[in-house]
Amino acid sequence: MRAQIIGTGSCLPEKIVTNDFLSTIVDTSDEWISQRTGIRERAVCTDETLTDLLTQAANQALERAGITAQELDLILCATIRGDYITPSQACVIQKEIGASCPAMDISAACTGFIYALDVAAGYFARKKVKKVLVLAGDCMTRMMDWSDRSTCVLFGDGAGAVVLGEGENLMAIQLTANGNVDVLNIPHVGGDSPFDKLPKSQSYLSMNGKEVYKFAVSSMYRDVQTVCDQAGVKVEDVDWIVPHQANLRIIEAAAHKLKVSGEKCLTGIENLGNTSAASIPIVLDRANTEGKFKAGDLLVLTAFGAGLTTGACVLRW
């Protein structure tokens, strides 16, 4: 593939909500949440919009890539729900950052960032682009039923961004989809058509946590091996695994099956919660700004989410 990451950025809302605070809203405890998920706190949108978060992440990534928005040839945004049904969130950000290239959204839930990388890789392969901004973000806490303790404690809000330039560092991407509405869904926001005979439902996330858990561990295990095979590398040679941050136990179980040591798995779930598609670029950005990655390091990104979708990517830093 003809692309490489040349800049990263991320942004979280200001308000931090701890597990202890959540236990004043629903019947839960810090002990239950942290033992079952690894989450201790999450950043939650109050007066911020998704546009605010994505704009900041995008500008950071552009600055670190050393390019202006006008140099972008394409903007892709992975999101479950942008601030508008239309225009796309990518178009909204295009205006905010002052770009003038085509822009579109990718809907693949928590796997969206890896789906977007694959779409971008296709544009590079067809030589239609030289610089692409890949964004991922969601305000998941605005899609929760805040009386349902089994879901509302799991999520947080945030945005991540990368700028892709030409290069040979994206080595392989593997995507899957296994259509399934029952295990994890968020119904649409209803209109008020006087002709509409469909039952009205609230636009809240519902999830069969146990089914997602089993699916997540087995698919991460399978996808990391498959994508490493495709890239011609061995799992044991991978320097860093950047997994979707949904549950620390899922990450640990998948790493155990892959025989990968815990130190190689980058995590941020402790203070992020599940930020959907943004989780991988946020953790990537943190590690990048902390100077964790050396040139030449081998990274594997791996995600699963509603759809059910999964994706994994091997890249050389």
Residues of this chain that bind ligand ACO (CB under 6 A): 28, 32-33, 36-37, 109-110, 149-150, 153, 184, 207, 209-210, 212-213, 216, 246-247, 250, 274, 276, 305-306
CB of 303 to ligand ACO, least distance (A): 8
244 in catalytic set: yes
110 in catalytic set: yes
Among residues 51 and 276, whose Cβ is nearest to ligand ACO?
276
User: Which listed residue (19, 169, 274, 288) is catalytic?
Assistant: 274
CB of 107 to ligand ACO, least distance (A): 11
CB of 150 to ligand ACO, least distance (A): 4
Among residues 32 and 293, whose Cβ is nearest to ligand ACO?
32
Cβ contacts of 107 within 8 Å, gap of 6 or more: 78, 79, 80
Among residues 132 and 175, whose Cβ is nearest to ligand ACO?
175
Among residues 23 and 230, whose Cβ is nearest to ligand ACO?
23
CB of 1 to ligand ACO, least distance (A): 25
Among residues 213 and 293, whose Cβ is nearest to ligand ACO?
213
Among residues 214 and 292, whose Cβ is nearest to ligand ACO?
214
SS3 for the chain, per residue?
Answer: CCEEEEEEEEECCCEEEEHHHHCCCCCCCHHHHHHHHCCCEEEECCCCCHHHHHHHHHHHHHHHHCCCHHHCCEEEEECCCCCCCCCCHHHHHHHHHCCCCCEEEECCHHHHHHHHHHHHHHHHHCCCCCCEEEEEEEEHHHHCCCCCHHHHCCECEEEEEEEEEECCCEEEEEEEEEEECCCEECCCCCCCCCCCCCCCCCCCCEECHHHHHHHHHHHHHHHHHHHHHHHCCCHHHCCEEEECCCCHHHHHHHHHHHCCCHHHECCCHHHHCECHHHHHHHHHHHHHHCCCCCCCCEEEEEEEECEEEEEEEEEEC
CB of 73 to ligand ACO, least distance (A): 29
Task: Tell me how far the alpha carbon of residue 257 is from its chain's centroid.
Answer: 23
User: Which listed residue (91, 169, 244, 288) is catalytic?
Assistant: 244
CB of 29 to ligand ACO, least distance (A): 6
In angstroms, the CA 182 to CA 230 distance is 31
Q: Catalytic site residues?
A: 110, 244, 274
